[in-house]
Amino acid sequence: MVAMATAAALGVSALLAAQPAAAAEDSWVAEIDNVVPDVYRFTVPTSAVQPATGIAGSVVAVEGNFAPGKTWTTLNMGASGGNWTSTIGPLEPGLYYYQYTARPSWGEDAIAFRNPASPQEVTSKPTWNTLFVDGPGAEWLADVPAGGSLEELSYDSSVAGAERSALVWTPPGYDENRATPYPVLYLLQDEGQSYREWVELGRLKQILDNLTVGGDAEPMVVVMGDGDTDEIRGEVVKNLLPAAEQAFNISSDAEDRAIAGIGRGASQALSLLVSATGEFSNVGSFSGDLEQNVGKGKARQINDATDLIRLYVGNVTDPNYNPTVALADKFSRAGVEFQSDGSDPETGGTWDTWQKSLHDFAQRVFQTPGDTGPSEGHLPLEPHSLPAPGTTPTPWIDENGVVTFETGTDFADANHVTVWGNFGPAGSWPRTPMTKQDDGRWRLTMPVEAGSYYYKFVVEGVDHKDGTNPTTVLSEPNWSTFQVPGDETLRGEYTTPVAPEARGDVEVMNYTSTANGNPTRSAYVWTPPDYDADRAEPYPVFYLQHGGGQTWTDWIEVGFAAQILDNHYAKGNIVPMVVVMANGNGVNFPNEITQRITVTAEAQYNVSSDGDNRALAGLSMGSGHTLSTLWAHPGEFAYIGAMSAFGNVPANADVAAINDGTKLLRVYSGDVQDFTYGATLTLISSMTNRGVEHEFAPIIPGPHSWDVWQKSLIDLLPRLFQG
């Protein structure tokens, strides 16, 4: 009875409303049920935009942490049947946060809104919703049956001169009468955050529930205090600690106290380490800094009174990356004993980083010291800087795959500038906002996984090329390209350039077309590094076609086909072959390929004219060209590849001749985001019903995009000319 009366006096109450709301409660979001999981469609009724924003909303979007490194980005929505829609995925398991926006035009500010029928989930961001994607790698963020409890603690603050609140998590099986008081972890939020964000975006309850139930953390109480004050010592030491210790069965012994925070909250925790040395035996800094100097005498006091000091920070996109580097250096020079978790290469100054920081820190407090080094895969803390503005070609790509885009000063008066590129999940195209610099340039820095990319700047709705990127794309003058080296992804492994001596040659082959006026056209031709024009046996030859709106340069300029071929050849995955990438626009392609392209290739290169040693493949429109050639000329090309394909087997097709003359017919498709997905399924059904022998490759996650087609090519090449 005494404990209950004390709790009531201090304002402790069950805080059911503090539990993060289920993402399913936003009826505007739905997972699309198809062969690729975790693809989501956002659907905003057109009728809901004006009541929510006061504008008609000619530009409607969903914004969220969907870009690489969980960078905040924008997905434009398209008008369809009385709704605005956008589809993205597959999303990697984890927590996403998002909002909807509308603007009258690109040059005007966006107004954010949420589904009014969904609960407000984030106290400090009233227009945000969350979406939790369950799955491998996010088990530690998932709900736990019979987990701990959340309660609200209200107390009188002598600093604020008013009542203040904190959020308290108690572990599963919490016993308010346990003989041994529980150790306690105090947490402080960053500036601009609410202390409730620890559960709303940090998923603290799920993290601590999983750790405690799994036996990976000491059962403890966690107090999420409100650090929105300039007098943190008075607020925490004089007000929050006594109130929490009176309301909960927690220890008042410094050995059983820990404190950590984010950004400003981390700086506050570190300042208490210096100004209230001995009050907390465990201190964590998540993207923090420390203004005070630490002398050697103070360092000795800290070392004597503190069991654990551990520093956390995101990658170089974290605004507090260099301050954390400086903090580590300050501690080292003073002799303060501390641990560094290094730099998290995946994410920057976001809740995705701080979730991982909390997960690591909670396993270390009140425990016997174990491994004191950084988490697996984390990078050492080293100062980071970018080239001086306007001095070098862009984008800048560091050794860890962090990419920085920069405009010139010509957009200094713009209101809204983004980078539009294939950086989204599975190669989708979000528009990621850039930040205006003091000199009028705009800049964006984000981590990008290994692979090849294409992008452009969009300035208030108008496309612009990156003028300092020397790459060009003939079919899309505003595009630029770049490549992030690395073998940790399939596209990275096969688009990273091989050593110069291992590269094949890429030449231009001119030929006379069957098009009206018999114009001269061009094709790119790749020959292997050891190509021998006089070899007795002609080389097998692969004719590779582009898609609609593209031309003969795209497989080289955007598809990075030369690098893919070089890598396959260097690995010994493919037989020596010649690859011809010609122009398929505006012609009867079966005539063009059989009468002009192959004829010229055979005249200029040592390639075979035997159908068994010829292959033909293409993407989208090029797949239509490929299949129409197969139907009209069975046996002319024994190996056929169709990417993002469509069509039906013609009624007059000679199926027996097609099967007899074809050694491989393999079809590829993106997922439901690929607008030819349904047409590809129709094609597969047609071939099955007509008895055309074929292979349907596993669906490749992604839209109608080069990511899908590159992976298709990577898969197809080793299958060619294998007997």
Distance (Å, whole) CA 438 – CA 460: 19
DSSP letter, residue 190: P
Distance (Å, whole) CA 716 – CA 604: 25
Asked if 395 and 640 count as a contact pair (C-beta separation under 8 A), the reply is: no
Distance (Å, whole) CA 611 – CA 627: 15
Return the SS3 of 41: strand
> For 144-149, which contacts have Cβ atoms below 8 Å and span 24 or more sequence positions?
144/172, 144/206, 144/209, 144/210, 144/213, 146/172, 147/172, 147/205, 147/206, 147/209, 147/213, 148/172, 148/174, 148/205, 148/208, 148/209, 148/212, 149/14, 149/174
Q: What is the pLDDT at residue 394?
A: 95
Sheet holding 339-343, edge to edge: 13-14, 149-157, 162-170, 221-225, 184-188, 257-262, 282-286, 308-313, 339-343
Q: What is the pLDDT at residue 6?
A: 33
Q: Which helix (H) or strand (E) element contains residue 247?
A: helix 241-247
* Residue appearing with tokens 């899908």: 708
Tokens of 162: 């008013």
Q: What is the pLDDT at residue 25?
A: 85
* Residue appearing with tokens 């006026």: 517
DSSP letter, residue 503: P
Q: What is the pLDDT at residue 597?
A: 98
CB burial of residue 239 (10 Å; 0-12, 13-18, 19+):
buried
Query: Each residue of 459-517: pLDDT tens digit?
Result: 999 999 999 999 999 999 999 999 999 999 999 999 999 999 999 999 999 999 999 98
Query: Each residue of 271-328: pLDDT tens digit?
Result: 999 999 999 999 999 999 999 999 999 999 999 999 999 999 999 999 999 999 999 9
Q: Which residues pair with 79 in a beta bridge?
A: 84
Decide which of 659 and 33 is more confident.
Answer: 659
Asked if 519 and 504 count as a contact pair (C-beta separation under 8 A), the reply is: no
Q: What is the pLDDT at residue 518?
A: 84
Q: Which residues pair with 130 in a beta bridge?
A: 97
Distance (Å, whole) CA 551 – CA 582: 8
Distance (Å, whole) CA 121 – CA 18: 9
DSSP assignments along 554-599, one per residue: HHHHTT-HHHHHHHHHHTT-S-S-EEEE---TTS-HHHHIIIIIHH
> For 318-322, which contacts have Cβ atoms below 8 Å and span 24 or more sequence positions?
318/287, 318/343, 318/348, 318/349, 318/353, 319/287, 319/348, 319/349, 320/263, 320/266, 320/287, 320/288, 320/289, 320/349, 321/287, 321/348, 321/349, 321/384, 322/383, 322/384
Amino acid at 492: G
Average pLDDT over residues 370-383: 95
Q: What is the CA radius of gyration of the chain?
A: 30
Q: Is the pLDDT of residue 19 over 70?
A: no
Please tell me the pTM assigned to this model.
0.92
Distance (Å, whole) CA 242 – CA 305: 20
Decide which of 139 and 34 is more confident.
Answer: 139
DSSP letter, residue 684: H
Tokens of 709: 């087609």
667 dihedral zone (left: phi>0; alpha: psi -120 to 50; beta): beta
Q: What is the pLDDT at residue 354?
A: 98
Distance (Å, whole) CA 60 – CA 49: 8
Asked if 163 and 154 count as a contact pair (C-beta separation under 8 A), the reply is: yes
Percent helix / strand / coil, the chain, rounded to 5? 30, 25, 45
Q: Is the pLDDT of residue 3 over 50?
A: no
Q: What is the pLDDT at residue 4?
A: 31
Distance (Å, whole) CA 601 – CA 84: 48
Measure the N-to-C terminal CA separation of the chain; round to a whole number of Å: 85
**Helices and strands, counts by H and E, the chain:** 19, 35
Q: What is the pLDDT at residue 623?
A: 98
Distance (Å, whole) CA 420 – CA 454: 9
Q: Is the pLDDT of residue 5 over 80?
A: no
DSSP letter, residue 28: T
Q: What is the pLDDT at residue 369?
A: 83
Average pLDDT over residues 652-681: 97
Tokens of 110: 């966006």
Query: Each residue of 125-183: pLDDT tens digit?
Result: 999 999 999 999 999 999 999 999 999 999 999 999 999 999 999 999 999 999 999 99
Q: What is the pLDDT at residue 387?
A: 92
Q: What is the pLDDT at residue 33?
A: 77
Q: Phi/psi of residue 463, each to 5°?
A: -75, 140
pLDDT band at 14 (very low <50, low <70, confident <90, very high): very low
Distance (Å, whole) CA 526 – CA 559: 13
Q: What is the pLDDT at residue 434?
A: 97
Q: Is the pLDDT of residue 600 over 80?
A: yes
Average pLDDT over residues 188-211: 97
Sheet holding 402-406, edge to edge: 396-397, 402-406, 442-447, 435-436
The sign of the dihedral angle between the CA atoms of 658, 660, 662, 665 is positive
Average pLDDT over residues 352-363: 98
Query: Each residue of 549-576: pLDDT tens digit?
Result: 999 999 999 999 999 999 999 999 999 9
Q: What is the pLDDT at residue 9?
A: 35
Cα angle value 106/112/117 (rounded, 5°): 135
Average pLDDT over residues 87-112: 94
Distance (Å, whole) CA 37 – CA 426: 12
Q: What is the pLDDT at residue 105?
A: 86
Tokens of 311: 């520093």
pLDDT band at 58 (very low <50, low <70, confident <90, very high): confident
Q: What is the pLDDT at residue 13?
A: 40
The mean pLDDT value of the chain amounts to: 94
